[in-house]
Each structure stands twice: as structure tokens, then as C-alpha cells.
Amino acid sequence: MNIDADGSARVPDGDLPRTSALDTDLVHAARRDAARDASDTGAILRADVDELRVALIGLDPDATITVSFDGRPIWSTTLPEPHRRVHRLPWPEPLRPHLRGSTRLTVTDAATASVVAGSDVTFDDSPERTTVVDANGKALVVNKWGVLGAVVTADEDLRQRLIARTAVLCDDLETLGYDVAITSGTLLGLVRDGRMLPNDDDSDLSVIFPDSSPADLVLRSYRMERELADAGYTVVRHSGAHLQVTFLIDGGDIDHYIDIFTGFFRGEDFCQPFHLRAPVPRSSLLPTVRVEWEGVQVPAPPVPEDWLAACYGADWRTPDPAFHFETPSATRRRYENWFGSFNTGRVHWESYYSSVAAPEHLDGQQRYLRSARALLPAGGSVLDLGTGSGAIAAALAGDGRRVLGVDYSLKAVALARSAGVDAEFLNLNERRRVDQLAVRIRADPSPWSISAAFVLHTLTGETRSAVFGLIRSALRHPSPEPRSAVVAVDTVLDEDAYSFDDPSSWHLPVETLADELEPHGLSFRIERDGVRTTPHGEREFVVGTITLTTPTQEENR
Amino acid sequence: MSIAGRISRALSRVAPTTTQRVHRSLTAPSSATLGEQLAEAQAQILELQRDVDELRADNLRIAELYDVVVDRLGQDGDPSGT
């Protein structure tokens, strides 16, 4: 690329797309902006429902910017490479459904907190102002994971609840004998700014365990989870080293979280999954000291600067709203294999059910239900995996069956319970919980049948393997009473609709299902097939039964 | 036994196939091109990574199964009792 005398970039024909008239117009406007106030700098933005375009004259092209709607920060990002001085930023996918109506759109340089460009933008003909909120009106931002998350600092009542609960949780953990301290974004905000970070969505705690063996660390984390549950907390496990204490509001919607990360020393390193593995002196972390944070006393590391430099790098004092972790492969592999990762798909389903007001029948479920009613023993016990809003579980229970629905969306469990379903929170990604459930239903004097309507194709292969172990265990119950396992799956991939972040777009071919069942001594028989309408278009599905193919011990005798 | 011998024996126990391949590739006279040797070494590293990942993941499985047992017995899941 060459630079013209006027400073604009010149691209050889065919190297990059030609600059549009819009871009040229944008750059000229930025130059006029600079000339108007007799400065060397100017910036102009344009936006539509597809992208934001920013032209900067004399400003840092590598800046981190924060985009605000009507003065409320929505999205922070680093500027992409400009083409002829115009930075083109496609809107993040999760934000697009909210791009309606009009707003005053401003772009702020995160380093200086100064507004560099602003414009009145109209996304469509809707008369309202553009709002980025959830179904309950809670303010959302594009968070560091690239998805929409609640922003605590936009709601003072919520912020105060989070602060008070964080202090109480710290006290409770200390009473239980744990070395707890504020960490991550909570620690960074306190040390750098003296307050919570703008756009923070939770608070973060670390608990330093005395163990260094991964199995011992996980077992101690299990114990802490039990103790917190016994104390009345709602605890969601993200990994063997990461718990999320979740606070709910009426109706089962999530009010906010507090993360608890396990920390431990191993060799020369201090480890705090999922990211940190660096030599931090023990004396920089323990014993903890009491500090004032947002008007309450909380425990903190005695030398927090050492932890912050190890986690965020030497530039941790410079605000970077677009910061994201770049965890070295060796560290990531170590932590993922030692501690697992159990949250796959849960954010999607929690978000999905937060917009569902009452138990719902999706297309295909009635056809599944007709088959399930015929194939599941009348009057028996049924375990409904991934019960969702409980519509199928409620119908099966209405026939006179004893039904237990399980789901890993807290909101789904609340919906199912509101429909009269006996429902429990259970994450199928957690093999330990699946194993415990298998033991539990095998201990029942009567056998349990299994129902899994449009669930198996939304799970990873590893999770399905655990579920198949559960199904085999249920089918092998020693009682002579009848039992069965009925499932429905979407079988065909729609490449245009597929998204890793949306498990409902996943698929499971019948051949793959059969191959995966075989090592478990199970086989699949198609009972019916069809096409159903989904948010991802028309999808082919099958309903079938899973049966034992290898003899049980009882049969061998 | 020397430290190298101990490491060699431990490696052959953990990843016998890979250890044999590495040993062969280091000792056998090779007519393979440098590119072929590099490709084989890369494949061996990937295989070793998978072996290491499997062994690491076994820690979690041990903890899970242990916890299922203690949960069934209604006891605390910390083997050290501390």
C-alpha cells in the first residue's frame, strides 16, 4: 500500500475492494470536521443495521473505542485495519436484533475517555429509541465474551445487591475456612479505579486451596459446592475449578452472579484457571487483607499488583475495555483436561428461556409426544432429559406417570415447575451429576424410563457418552417391570443456519447416533420420522427408541 | 538406574506406541527427506499431546467417580478429611 501526498492510503487496483462513494464522503467529512475547529484531528461516523463506519483524521488508528447509544456504553472493541482511512466494524451478531429505531451514537476513545465522533443514527422506521435490554428490561452490553450480558453498573439497586451479597459470600466462605479474596475484574477495578469497572456484569472471587493435585483440587471444590448449597446458595459449576453462585429473581430469571475461581500453587507457579499460570509469590496473595470496596469490607491479596500484572500483563493500569484473554495453548490444554468445561450451550438456553413466558410446545414436540405416549410404559416413572419449559413432562405426568424433568437452564427449571412438573437443575455436561443420577434411579425399586425430546443433538459427543451410560443403567434395572428410552433428534445439518454458539442448530445423523451407542451395548430403532419447523428453517427429525443390544447380567444368569 | 533410564521407562509405560516410534525414528538410519521427518515428528508430538491430555483428564474422572461413591455413602468428598 502507498500513501498519497494528502496522507490517504492508495491501494493498487485489484488489491482491495474499491472505496465506495460513501467512504470517500465519510473521509471528506472527517477532514471538514478537523478543519472546522482548526485542529489536526477529526472523526465522523456513519451507521446502519449492518455496520458502523468510522473515519479518523489524525487520531490513533489502533485505538480501543467504546460505542454508546444515547450515552450508554454498549460495545468496546479495537479498531480494525482501515481501508482508505475508514474503519468498518460489522455489528456483533448478538447486538443486531436490538438495532431498531433511532439513537445518538457516539464513539469514545477508551484511553482518554473523550468522545471522538457522534451522530444521530436511524436504524429503521420504528419510532422508539434504540434500546439494548433483556426481556425484563435489564440493560445489556456486548461483554468480553462477545455475547450480550447484563451490566450491573447501569442499575443502582442491582449494583447494591451485588456488592452486599459479595461481602456476605466472602464472610460465609471465610467462616467455612476458605482463603477467599476478590480477584479478576473486581480486583482490577478496585486497585486501578477505586470502584467497579464500567460495564461489569458480576463480581469475582478466588479461593486458594492448599492442594496441588488436580483430583484433590476438584474434590475440594465439590466439597465447597456442597457447603455453599447447604448454606442456601444456588451454585452452578462451570468446571472442576470454577463455581458460579447465582442469584435469582421471581420467575427464575437470573439477577446476577458471583464467580468463584479456584487458585492453587503448583511448583513455581500460581494457577487460577481458566487463564492464569505464572510465578506469583505466595506472600503476594496470602494472608489476605481487608479492604474497602464500594462501601463494604472484603478480603483482598496483600500485594494485588503482582496478581494483576500476572493476569492482565504489565499494562494492566491502562484501561482496555476490549481486553480479552489470550491463554497460551499449554495452559488452556492443562486446565481444560484437568478440570473440564461444563458450560457448553448453557448461556444460549438460559437466554432462550428468559424470553419464554410459559411452557411451550415447539413444532415436532406433539408428534414426539404421540410416539412417547405409545412407547413409554403407562403408569411408570419417566426421567425427562433437557425438559426445557416442561411441556412434554407435564403431558406425560398428566397421563398418570411419575415424571422428573431435569435441565441446566435455571429459568427452564422454574418454567417447568410453574407447569406443575417435578423439575431439578442438572447439567448433563457434568458426568459426575449424570453418574449420581444413574445411581439414584437404579436404587429405586421400580425402573425409570427415559425421554429425551430434541436434546441429544444439542450435546457434545462426550456429554452424549455420559447420557448413554445413564440410559444403559436405567434400561438394565433388575425389576421385571417394563421400561424404555425414547428420543428425538434433528438429523440433518443446515450449514447456513449452523452456529456453534446455538446448540439448537446442531444435528445428529442416525448413523452417528448408532455408532456412538454401540460401545455402550445400545442400539437405535427409528419409530417415525418427519420434518419440523424450527427457528433454523425446516429440519428433518426422527423419533426412536434406544434398546439394549448386549445381554444384562440378569439375562446371563 | 539413571534418570534418563527412569524417564524412558516411565514414558514407555505411559505411551508405549509413541515411545517405540520416537525410539525408532531416532535410531534407525533414515533415507526420508527432512520434510518427511518433520511431518513424522509433528505427528508424534500431536500423539504425545493427546496422550498427555488423556492422562490429565483421568484426574477429573477419578475425582468424579470418587465423588459419586462418597455422595452415595453420604460422606464428605474430601479424601484428606481436612
Q: Taking CB atoms and an 8 Å limit, are B77 and A436 in contact across chains?
A: no
Strand pairing report for A42-47 and A485-490: unpaired
From chain A, pick out residues whose CB is under 8 angstroms from the CB of B64: 218, 431-432, 435
Report whether pLDDT(A389) > 90. Answer: yes
Question: For A412-440, what is each residue's pLDDT tens digit?
Answer: 999 999 999 999 999 999 999 999 999 99
Q: What's the CA gap between A285 and A283, in Å, rounded?
A: 5
Residue in chain A lying closest to B49 (CA): A333
The letter for the amino acid at A372 is A
| B29 to chain A, closest Cα gap in Å | 33
Question: For B17-65, what is each residue's pLDDT tens digit?
Answer: 777 777 776 666 566 788 899 999 999 999 999 999 999 999 999 999 9
Out of B53, B61, B79, the one facing A219 most closely (by C-beta) is B79
The interface predicted TM-score of the complex, written ipTM, equals 0.76
- For chain A, list residues whose CB is within 8 angstroms of any CB belonging to chain B: 210, 213-216, 218-220, 222-223, 226, 240, 333-334, 337-340, 431-432, 435-436, 439
**Residue where the block lists cell 471465610:** A174
Nearest to A449 by CA among A395, A403, A397: A403
Q: What confidence tier does B80 reach under pLDDT thresholds 50, 70, 90?
A: low
Q: What is the mean pLDDT of chain A?
A: 89
Distances A102 to A49, A73, A106, A126 between C-alpha atoms, Å:
11, 16, 13, 8
Q: Taking CB atoms and an 8 Å limit, are B80 and A439 in contact across chains?
A: no
What is the domain partition of chain A in residue ranges?
A: 2-132, 152-339, 346-556
H or E stretch at A239: strand A234-239
Print the domain residue range for B67: 3-73
Across A75-84, A385-394, A398-407, A496-505, least confident range: A75-84
Select from B61, B67, B82 the residue whose CB has the most chain A CBs within 10 Å, as the one to mutate to test that interface. B67
Number of domains, chain B: 1
Question: For A286-299, what is each residue's pLDDT tens digit?
Answer: 999 999 999 999 99
Pick the CATH number of A2-132 from 1.10.1060.10, 2.60.40.2840, 3.40.50.2300, 3.40.190.10: 2.60.40.2840
Out of A220, A240, A340, the one facing B78 most closely (by C-beta) is A220
B80 belongs to a structural domain: no
| B61 to chain A, closest Cα gap in Å | 8
| A8 to chain B, closest Cα gap in Å | 44
Which of residues A77 and A446 earns the better pLDDT score? A446
B79 belongs to a structural domain: no
Task: Give me the pLDDT at residue A163, please.
Answer: 97
The CATH topology of domain A152-339 is Beta Polymerase; domain 2 (3.30.460)
Task: Give me the pLDDT at residue A13, please.
Answer: 35
Report whether pLDDT(A197) > 50. Answer: yes
Report whether pLDDT(A114) > 90. Answer: no
Strand pairing report for A402-407 and A422-425: parallel
Task: Give me the pLDDT at residue A309, please.
Answer: 97
Percent of chain A with pLDDT over 70: 92
From chain A, pick out residues whose CB is under 8 angstroms from the CB of B67: 219, 222, 432
Report whether pLDDT(A153) > 80. Answer: no
The CATH topology of domain A346-556 is Rossmann fold (3.40.50)
Selection from A144-148, A321-325, B66-70, B71-75 with the highest mean pLDDT:
B66-70
- For chain B, list residues whose CB is within 8 angstroms of any CB belonging to chain A: 49, 52-54, 56-57, 59-68, 71-72, 76-80, 82
B81 belongs to a structural domain: no
Beta bridge partners of A269: A266
Report whether pLDDT(A4) > 70. Answer: no
From chain A, pick out residues whose CB is under 8 angstroms from the CB of B66: 215, 219
C-alpha torsion angle, residues B32, B33, B35, B36 (rounded to 10): -20
B36 belongs to a structural domain: yes
Question: For A115-143, what is each residue's pLDDT tens digit?
Answer: 888 889 999 999 999 999 887 777 888 87
Report whether pLDDT(A325) > 60. Answer: yes
